[in-house]
Amino acid sequence: MSRTIRPLVLALLSATLLGACASAPQSPAVAAQFAGKRVVLLGEVHDNAAGHEARFAALKAAVDAGWRPAIAMEQFDRERQGDLDAARKGGDADALIKAAAPAKSSWNWAFYKPVIALALQYDLPLIAANVSRADAGKVVRGGYTAAFDPAALKAARLDAAPAADIVAGQQHEVEVGHCGKLPQAMVPGMAQAQIARDAFMAQVLRDNAQRGVVLIAGNGHVRRDIGVPRWLAGVPAAQVLSVGYLESGRDAKAFDEVVEIPAAERPDPCATL
């Protein structure tokens, strides 16, 4: 263990022993695993407040103990990086959200404001990581080349066909996510859009891996088997940590670490499809 890593580990072990009662369950233990990782991927169930609280507690514990990663966020589109950078000059979390949030946004920003505020408090880079809804729609209708030029596809490593198991896995997840009610003709395109998001998020993580970077994104993106980690070639697997925040044990093996969270109360999503 290097001298630079040991203080972080010791601080977080102390938090585990002394501060567990004041933290979300498992947060100090999860945070202790961030030490020495170049890329940490922290998942979420988008509407689960308990999961957001637990994830933020782990992130804050690591940063308070000395970890200084860049923070890449699914919630901001890549094209808004300039807006994000400009707004942080003297701005607070609300100012950044107002300046850089997608025009049509379904995100509950109350869940993400603490993450943004933490980045501002410690002067950590905030990175817009997602493919925009407009570009994702182009991919659904016309494939990768309909949305991205050859240089962008090469940089994201989408200039060659994705691995067959990634394609099959993403198509399965699209079908499951739509309760088996999606017209079959739409499945391949929607899976391609998800793959594009993963590939471009991975590009951001590779570009910032030397410093250390954490991705804030949905559980589907951070899973090791078919998500962003599959696009991190060049970053040693031992220096990548994927943490799923799951309401159930489904797909638990797709993550390095799982934090179980209570299920949020919500209407049956299949009832309205």
- The domain ranges of the chain are 91-126, 129-216+229-237+269-273
Give me the tens of pLDDT residue by residue for the chain, a chain 273 residues long.
433 334 454 445 444 444 444 445 478 899 999 988 999 999 999 999 999 999 999 999 999 999 999 999 999 999 999 999 999 988 899 999 999 997 778 899 999 999 999 999 999 999 999 999 999 999 999 999 999 999 999 999 999 999 999 999 999 999 999 999 999 999 999 999 999 999 999 999 999 999 999 999 999 999 999 999 999 999 999 999 999 999 987 889 999 999 999 999 888 888 877
Beginning with the edge strand found earlier in the chain, give each strand of the sheet holding 126-130 in spatial order: 126-130, 70-77, 213-216, 39-42, 240-246, 257-260
Strand 126-130 and strand 240-246: the pairing is unpaired
Q: What is the pTM of this model?
A: 0.90
Q: How far is the C-alpha of 263 from the C-alpha of 27, rounded, in Å? A: 18
- The pLDDT assigned to 15 comes to 46
Q: How far is the C-alpha of 34 from the C-alpha of 238, rounded, in Å? A: 11
- The pLDDT assigned to 8 comes to 55
172: phi > 0 → left, psi -120 to 50 → alpha, else beta; which?
alpha
Q: State the Cα angle at 132 between 127 and 133, rounded to 5°.
A: 145
CB atoms within 10 A of CB 97: 21
H/E stretch holding 28: helix 27-32
In contact, 51 and 42? CB cutoff 8 Å:
no
Q: Helix 49-64 vs helix 6-18: angle between axes, to the nearest 10 degrees?
A: 130
- The pLDDT assigned to 20 comes to 41
- The pLDDT assigned to 95 comes to 96
- The pLDDT assigned to 90 comes to 86
Q: How far is the C-alpha of 83 from the C-alpha of 95, rounded, in Å? A: 10
In contact, 223 and 242? CB cutoff 8 Å:
yes
Q: Looking at residue 47, what DSSP letter applies?
A: T
156's CB contacts (< 8 A; 6+ apart) are: 148, 196, 199, 200, 202, 203, 231
- The pLDDT assigned to 24 comes to 52
- The pLDDT assigned to 58 comes to 97
